[in-house]
Structures are given as C-alpha cells and as structure tokens.
A and B are shown apart, each in its own frame.
Chain A
Amino acid sequence: MSQQENNIVYTQKNLPSKLLTIGVVILIVGLVLAGASYLIDPVRASFNSLISMMFGLSVGLGILFIIGLEHLTGAVWSVPFRRVAEYLGGILYIVPILAIPVFLNMHGVFSWSDPAVIAKDHVLQGKVPYLNTGFFYIRFALAFIVLWFFFTMFKRNSIKMDSNPSESYVKSSKILSAVMMPFFAIFTTIMAVDWLMSVVPRWFSTIFGVYYFAGSFLAGLGALTLVVIMLNKRGYLAKGLGGDNYYSLGAFMFAITNFWSYIAFSQYMLIWYANLPEETFWFIPRLHTSWVWMTAGLPLIKFIIPYIFILSQPSKKDPKRLTIAAIMIMFGHYYDLFWLVMPAYHKEGFFFSWNELAFPILLIGATITYFAIVTKNKNLIPVNDPKLPQGINFHL
C-alpha cells in the first residue's frame, strides 16, 4: 500500500512454446484460406485484405498512441503494461504485407487509379493532384516509415532502460512523444483517407480521419487489454497488478467508446442535415439495401452494448468482464471497417462467406506468431522504469 514496501515481484518467464505452435498453425490456415480466396476472386480478396490491414494498422496506431500518451503525460498506471504494448505494437511491421493484394488489384479496389474512370469523371479529375497512384505509394511508404521510426525508438529506449536505468531514456521518450503527436495525427488521417475513404473516391467527409482514429484507439486498447489480462492472469507480469490498473483500462475503453460514438454520430448527423447529394450518396447503399441491417447493428455493437457493459464500476475492474469487453470492442471495430469498405465492393447488399474470414485469421495468426517470437527470453515489464513501482501500486 505505502511506498516503503515497494519491492517489485517479477520473474522473467517465457511464454509457453505452445503459443508459437498455435500462432503458426493459425497463420498457415489463414494463408491457405487467403490464397484460395485470392484465386477465386482477387478483387474481393483484396478488399478483405485491405480491411484486415486497416484493422491491424488500427491496433498498431492505437497502441503507439497509448505509448506516446503515457510518455507525454507522465502517466504511471500504464507503465507495467508498456512492454506488452511495445511488443504487441510490432503489428505495425506486419500490416503493410496485407497491402500487397491491393497493390496487385489497384484498379479493382481504387477506381480512381484507373485512367479510364478518371477520364469520364470531372469530379475525380479535380482530385488527381492528390489521388494519383504515384503519390499514393509515396504516402503509404512515408506513413509506415514515420510510424515505424517512432515505434522503434520508443521500444529501443524502453528496452535499453532494462539494463541501464538512466533518466535520459525517460526524457528522450518524452520529447519523442511530443514530436510524434502531430505526425501521428497527419499520418493517421492520411491512411484513413487513402485506404478507407478513397474506395468511394467521389465521397468525402472532413471528420473521417478522427473517425478512424477513434476506432483505432479502441482497437488498440482492446488488443492491449486482452493480452495484458491474459498474461497477468497467468502470472507473466508483475505481481499485484489489477484493481485500479484494470479500472483505468476499462475507463479508457468506456471513454473512447463514447468518443467514437460521438464522432460517428456527428458525421452521420451533419450529412443527414445538410442533405447534399455529393455526401448522402455514400449512405444510400448502406441504408437502402440489405446493408441497412449492418448499419443498424453498428451503433448497437460499437456503442450501446459496450456502453452498458462497461458502464458500472465493478465491470471495469473484473478481468473476465474486461476480456469480454475487449473482444467485443475489437470485433466492433472490424465490423465498422467492414461496413465502411465493403458496400463499395458490393453495392447490392450484404454478403458474407468464408472468404471474409480468411484475412482476419491470417492477421491473428501472424500477430500471435510475431508476439511469441519477439517476446522470447525477454522481460514482459519495463523492469527498471523509474515509474514502475508507482505504476504497480497505482491507486485512484
């Protein structure tokens, strides 16, 4: 309770080797399914791959943001989880691979990349200075280079501190986090606009970047919470974690659930109110075909159910309920991305089959495999972080 008894009880343990096997198996199943689905219909597979990529990117962005936020604000509650975040956020290294199917089917996924389409559409001609393939690739590369840079730097500083507990790393991470924030905002927006909004190239919504950011924050939190609880339950993290640390994760999930809903509703309401044909047409397939059921489910799955579920204080502390909430929130984000993208591929109505499951399985497998490999013989908490004792004894 008090700071005199601040011994951190932590022993470095390896994750069970089973984890790697599980990861590889899922990865192979995912690869086979994804390959088959690509052979059946490359464009559809590319759309699915795009969704999975954006989901993986969301998790990475969310986690990167949480790490940055911790350094920037000097938060202590999340310090004991930070190392997990630093390994899990490595998903950022994986996701660009999922862009490959899209690059092979640019015309099918992004109609603006097709000169024949541009020639017929004077609105798209006006967007050519931004929406052209060359610049698109450059932005993609730039976004990942910048995100990788910051992520890698945070991780390096943190790991170096394990052997050399020097305040200078804390300071350098702090400065880094402040520098990162504007870049983070710009590249999150760019990725959202390029990869999600531009699948319907004529459509635009100025709030879209924030929309994707809110969802990303949720996905990152969900993934982090899920992994942290699974590890902590089995004793891989420091002893004494839980309670108010969990509560903070829960409160964060609750807050961002509200934030996402606020943004999502703002976007919908402004378009509904202004009723401009160049904006409303995006909602027409989503409201006037069988997609409408998915549209109706979105506020339910991404707002109402998680909201009620995480509302009460005990449910923010109970690891079981938090686990369910985390899974729900991640599912909600995938659902959201599917809803954002897929009507562009198939305006006529809702559809779903094993094809749509292939890429998520692939992503999950790849993430587990990656996590199992990088955490081998490594500390799962930042053992020498000066804020760690406070973080473990965190009380609201």
Chain B
Amino acid sequence: MQEKVLYAMSALFDTPDAIIQAAESVQKAGYKKFDVNTPYPVHGMDNAMKLKPSTLGYFAFIIGIFGAIMAVAGMGYLTGVDYPNVMGGKPFFALPAFIPITFEVTVLSASVATVVIMIAFFFKLPNNSHPVHNTEYMKNVSDDKFGVLVEAKDAMFDAAKVEDLFRSLGASRIIPIYYDLEDIRTVGNIFRPKFVLFLAIVVFVSAGLTYGVLNRLLFIPPFTWMVYQPRVNAQQKSNMFADGSGMRNPVDGTVARGWMPYRYSGKPDEAGLNLVNPLIPNTHTLDLGKKNFDVYCSPCHGYLAKGDSRLRGQFPNPPTLHSDKVRNWTDGRIYAVITDGQNSMPSYSRLVSPSDRWAVILYIRELQRALNAKQEDLK
C-alpha cells in the first residue's frame, strides 16, 4: 500500500468566538493557505482572516453597465430605427418604457455574469472531488462544529507546529486530512472520459425527458389544449352546414365597408328630390372640388363650365352649366348626372368617388355664383 499524502491539518472548535480567535491566530502566525469552515456564516470572519475585499463586485458593475447599454441600445434601435411602430401613441424612442426592461437586463446580466465569472475565474472551475469531502472534519463542520485547516502546500507548513498551534488555541479535536489516492491522479480533471460520458448521458436524458414531456406527453388525452379545440378555419370544409362550406355568405343587404349603394340609378329626378349634399363649402372641400373638376370635367365643360370644350369638335360640345336649368337643379340632380351620365355624357361613378362628386358640385355652385354674382356679393 502506498503511503498516504497529507492535504492539511485541521482542527475543530466548539464556539464561533473560538473559531474567530483561531482564524486570527492562524493568520497572525503567517499562514497563507488556510481556510475556515463553519455551519453558518460567522460575523466578523472576513476581518479575522484578513481577507481582501473581493474584486467580484467590479465585474458585476462593469457587466451590469454593459447590460444596461445593450438594453437601451437594442430597444432604441429596434423600435426607433429598424422597425418603428406607433404603440400607444408614444414616441418611437420611448425611454420611460425602456427603463423597466433596462433594469431587468442589467440585473440579469450582472447576476448571471457574476456567478459564471465566480465559478470560472475565482473558483477556477469545479473539481469532481475535494480532499475534505467525506472526512470526519467535513461531517463535523457541516453539523455543529467550527473548523479551521492549514494546507500542507503552505510555505510555512510543518505538521507538528500547526498541531501545537491548534492545541494552544484550545481545539477540541485535531484531524489530519489526507488526499484520496484516486483524487490525486484525477484532481482538476473534469475531462475524464467517464465523467464526460456521464455528463453527455445526463444532458441527453434530461433534454429528451423535457422534450417528451413538453411536446408529447402533454398532448396525450386527457390533456386538452385550447389551441387544438374543434373549430372552423377559413376556406375549409365543415359538416356543420348542409352545403358543407365552413364560411357563410353575408346576410342579404349587407354593405361592404366604405361603399354605399346608389339607389337612384335611372331615376335622376328622384335623386334630385332625395339626395342632399353632405359637404359644406370651405377651402378644403372647394379645393377638392376644383381639383376633381379640372381633371375630370373641364376637358368637355371647360375650366369655367361654360361649355367651351377643349376637344375641338371631336365630341359633341356639352351645354353650359350656367343655364337657369342647371342653376335651379338641386345638388342631388347634378349628382345623378355625374353618377349615371346623361345622353352622350358618360357616367363618372368609377372615376370620381361619391364624396369627390359632392365636392365637384360645390365647386360648380361656386363657378355659377361667380358668373352670376348677386348684388350683395359685390360688397
């Protein structure tokens, strides 16, 4: 049998005060590689061991700031530059709305990074085992005793001297801790084939189980999901109705949005009696009317609606719209002419929308008034 290799000398104490004193003395004696294990955090231990304040906080700080900047920049770019969408009437770059998310991202990135950095750099990645595991010492300090140990690697280490020191401090027990021979060979090696294989199996099994549960098991009856309830999808067959069609025709008389039927086709006089111009003359409607009139009506009727066509005899000249007849017509009657056409004048219902037609009529009224001004208009 091989000789045992000493890892450390350890001592157990009964009270938190004793362990603080012990830690102080060990530190004062000049040992560097020593550690304290207690069942719970003992107040004042950092100071007794003269531990330097950890630098981990700076990493957390820097990564937190980084997370905050990424969050603001990311949201700002997405909602402000790349895909601006009006949401709740707020500006694209809506800083107040970003702040809760920025806060979350800051905390998340700082905390995750802190843990990762702590394990990877401060603990230099975990080992499979540690010499203090499964020892009398560990059993005691994870129960009701307070332990301190000095590693054999320490430059000043001398087993007998350390033992004397512990004894002089009043240790209740002194236990040497030896390496597990198996561990010496494998210490620091988390890439042992057996271990890697084990890890791989764990990954596959847990991933497979997760997949199976979430994507398969949960869909086996009696588990029901609202998404998968029986329902009719657009353009699909359904046995509910006799004609086998899932979609229904609209009720008779249904009117499509933005379209109104014209009821006076071929009955201009009735239109003249019943239709009322919904628009009131103002700069906006008159401008609209002028624009439409100049585009659609003026080629035949002339800019001033005097019947002075620009078609040079290629089409029968229309009559003037300043005749007493047209001036006495109601707006509805003119609307009927535009909508249905009249004799050789074609219908303009496809080109000019209903509201534009009414605007054109307002403009015609204006032209009529301009050429037949009343006395009071001159004032």
Assess whether A269 is in contact with B96, with CB atoms less than 8 Å apart: yes
Assess whether B99 is in contact with A269, with CB atoms less than 8 Å apart: yes
CB distance from B68 to the nearest CB of A (A): 13
List residues 233-269 of chain A with CB under 8 A from any CB of chain B.
265, 268-269
Q: Is A377 an interface residue (CB 8 A)?
A: no
Assess whether A273 is in contact with B88, with CB atoms less than 8 Å apart: yes
Given the known interface contacts A1-B24, A268-B96, A313-B53, the answer about A275 and B17 at a Cβ–Cβ threshold of 8 Å is no
Contact with A along B50-81 (1 / 0, CB 8 A): 00010001000000000000000000000000
Assess whether A269 is in contact with B100, with CB atoms less than 8 Å apart: yes
Contact with B along A375-396 (1 / 0, CB 8 A): 0000000000000000000111
Once the chains are docked, how many angstroms separate the CA of A2 from the CA of B90? 60
Q: Is B337 an interface residue (CB 8 A)?
A: no
Inter-chain contacts of B44 with A (CB < 8 A): 1, 395-396
CB distance from A89 to the nearest CB of B (A): 28
Contact with B along A1-30 (1 / 0, CB 8 A): 111100000000000000000000000000
Closest A residue to B48 using CB positions? A1
Q: Is B312 an interface residue (CB 8 A)?
A: no
Q: Is A203 an interface residue (CB 8 A)?
A: no
Q: Is A293 an interface residue (CB 8 A)?
A: no
Assess whether A2 is in contact with B97, with CB atoms less than 8 Å apart: no
Inter-chain contacts of A395 with B (CB < 8 A): 43-44, 47
List residues 257-291 of chain B with CB under 8 A from any CB of chain A.
none
Once the chains are docked, how many angstroms separate the CA of A269 from the CA of B101? 13
Inter-chain contacts of B250 with A (CB < 8 A): none
Once the chains are docked, how many angstroms separate the CA of A273 from the CA of B100? 13
Inter-chain contacts of A394 with B (CB < 8 A): 43
Looking at chain B's contact residues, is the secondary structure mostly helix, strand, loop, or mixed? helix
Inter-chain contacts of B46 with A (CB < 8 A): 396
Inter-chain contacts of B99 with A (CB < 8 A): 265, 269
CB distance from A261 to the nearest CB of B (A): 10
Once the chains are docked, how many angstroms separate the CA of A4 from the CA of B18? 10
CB distance from B276 to the nearest CB of A (A): 37
CB distance from A288 to the nearest CB of B (A): 16
Assess whether B97 is in contact with A273, with CB atoms less than 8 Å apart: yes
Tier of interface size on chain A: 10 to 19
Contact with B along A149-190 (1 / 0, CB 8 A): 000000000000000000000000000000000000000000
Once the chains are docked, how many angstroms separate the CA of A338 from the CA of B57? 36
Once the chains are docked, how many angstroms separate the CA of A110 from the CA of B190? 73
Inter-chain contacts of A272 with B (CB < 8 A): 96
Q: Is B152 an interface residue (CB 8 A)?
A: no
Assess whether B43 is in contact with A396, with CB atoms less than 8 Å apart: yes
Assess whether B20 is in contact with A2, with CB atoms less than 8 Å apart: yes
Given the known interface contacts A1-B48, A313-B53, A395-B43, the answer about A273 and B96 at a Cβ–Cβ threshold of 8 Å is yes
CB distance from B66 to the nearest CB of A (A): 17
Inter-chain contacts of B20 with A (CB < 8 A): 1-2
Closest B residue to A265 using CB positions? B99
Q: Is B244 an interface residue (CB 8 A)?
A: no
Inter-chain contacts of A269 with B (CB < 8 A): 96-97, 99-100
Once the chains are docked, how many angstroms separate the CA of A3 from the CA of B21? 11
Once the chains are docked, how many angstroms separate the CA of A2 from the CA of B23? 12
Once the chains are docked, how many angstroms separate the CA of A269 from the CA of B21? 53
Once the chains are docked, how many angstroms separate the CA of A118 from the CA of B61? 53
CB distance from B92 to the nearest CB of A (A): 15
A-B contact pairs, 23 of them (CB 8 A): A1-B20, A1-B21, A1-B24, A1-B44, A1-B48, A2-B20, A2-B21, A3-B17, A4-B17, A268-B96, A269-B100, A272-B96, A273-B90, A273-B97, A275-B88, A275-B89, A313-B53, A394-B43, A395-B43, A395-B44, A395-B47, A396-B43, A396-B46
Given A1-B48, A394-B43, 7 other A-B residues pairs in contact with their CB atoms under 8 A: A4-B17, A265-B99, A269-B99, A272-B96, A273-B90, A275-B88, A395-B47
The 7 closest A-B pairs by CB, nearest first: A395-B44, A2-B17, A395-B43, A269-B96, A272-B96, A3-B17, A396-B43
